[in-house]
Amino acid sequence: MGFVALAVVAGVHRTAFAATVSDEDVQAIASQLRCVVCQNLSVADSPSEMAHQMRALIRERLAAGDRPAEVMTYFVQRYGDWVLLAPPARGLNLVLWLAPFGAVVGGLVLVLTLVRRWRQAPIAPSPATAPVVGAAERERLAAELERLRD
C-alpha cells in the first residue's frame, strides 16, 4: 500500500517536473545552437519556423528527462559540430581557440623587442644628422632673447 502511494507520488512528481521546463532552460540550450536556416543567428534569437520547431523540441526533450548535454548531443548527431555556435576545442578547431592568445603573445613579444631596440639606440641624434645652427640663426636667437628680456 505504502509502495503504491510512493509510486503514485513519484509519478505525479515526474509529471510536475516535466511541466516545469522553464523558458530559461530552453533558451540556455537554444542560444548555443545555430539557427540552421539563418545567417549568424542562434536558435534562441531566430523568428524562423524551423527555430521555433527546434525550441519546441528542446522543451519536449527536457520534459522527457533529457539533460541539457544530451539535448545538445541530439542536435550535434544530426547537424554536426556546425550546429554549435561555440565550436568544440579539439582538432583543427583548436586553431580558432588558440589563435587570439597566440596573437596577444606575439604582439607582446613584438612590442618588447621594439622597446628594447629603441632603448639600445642612442638617444642623442648623431652628429651627421644634427641640424647645423648657422650664424644667421644664432644672431636671430640672440635678438629674440634680447626682446624677451625687455
Partner 1 sequence: MKLRLRWLIPLAALPVVGLLAYGFRTDPRAVPSPLVGRPAPAFTLTTFDGKPVSLESQRGKVVVLNFWASWCYPACYEEAPALEAGWRQFQSKDVVVLGVAIQDKEPASLNFIQRFGLTFPNAPDPAGKVSIDYGVYGVPETFVIDRKGVIRQKHVGGVTDTVFRESVEPLLAEKASTGGA
Question: Contacting partner 1 (CB under 8 A), which of 6, 13, 79, 137?
Answer: 79
In whole angstroms, how close is the CB of 6 to partner 1 at the nearest point? 34
One-letter-per-residue 3-state SS of 46-95: CCCHHHHHHHHHHHHHHHCCCCHHHHHHHHHHHHCHHHECCCCCCCCHHH
Triad 6, 9, 11: Cα angle to 5°:
110
Question: Using the rule CB under 8 A, is 86 a contact of partner 1?
Answer: no
Query: Residue 26 and residue 61: Cα distance in Å, rounded?
Result: 10
In whole angstroms, how close is the CB of 4 to partner 1 at the nearest point? 35
Question: Using the rule CB under 8 A, is 17 a contact of partner 1?
Answer: no
Contact (Cβ atoms closer than 8 angstroms) between residue 50 and residue 41: no
Contact set for partner 1, span 49-68 (CB under 8 A): 49-50, 53-54, 56-57
Cell numbers found for residue 103: 596573437
Give me the count of residues in the chain. Answer: 150
- Measured from the CB atom, is 7 or 96 closer to partner 1? 96
The count of residues interacting with partner 1 (CB under 8 A) is 14
Residues that bind partner 1 (CB under 8 A): 36-37, 49-50, 53-54, 56-57, 76-80, 82
